[in-house]
Amino acid sequence: MKNGAFSALFSLVVWLWPTVAGAQCAMCKATAETNLSGGGSAAEGLNGGILYLMAFPYILLLIVGIAWYRRRKGDKPKA
């Protein structure tokens, strides 16, 4: 197996491997849990912020991909 194929296969396995990740630091998690149990809404705002920060790189990648596609599509010689 060539290096490129091995790297692609390894990346795919790592990307698809189920993992459990703590998205918040211990202090943020404790504060959010305490606030939520007390009837507050800080935990919802914190989770919304995490989703916003998670979505931004994907949106940026989509914009770059569309720009790349349009530029490449426009460079084809006309027959």
Q: How confident is the model at residue 65 (pLDDT cuts 50, 70, 90)?
A: very high
Give me the residue label for tokens 């849990």. Answer: 33
Name the token pair of 39.
């009837």
Considering the entire predicted model, what is its pTM?
A: 0.46
Share of the chain above pLDDT 70, in %: 80
Q: What residue ranges do the domains of the chain occupy?
A: 41-79
| Alpha-carbon gap, residue 68 to 79, rounded angstroms | 22
The string of pLDDT tens digits covering residues 8-46 is 888 877 777 766 555 567 777 788 788 878 888 777 788
Q: What is the mean pLDDT of the chain?
A: 79
Instruction: Assess contact for 29 and 22: CB atoms under 8 A.
Output: yes
Instruction: State the DSSP H helix or E strand holding residue 56, giving kind and residue range, or none if neither.
Output: helix 42-74
Q: What single letter denotes the amino acid at residue 51?
A: L
**pLDDT value at position 30?**
81
Distance, CA of 45 to CA of 55 (rounded, Å): 15
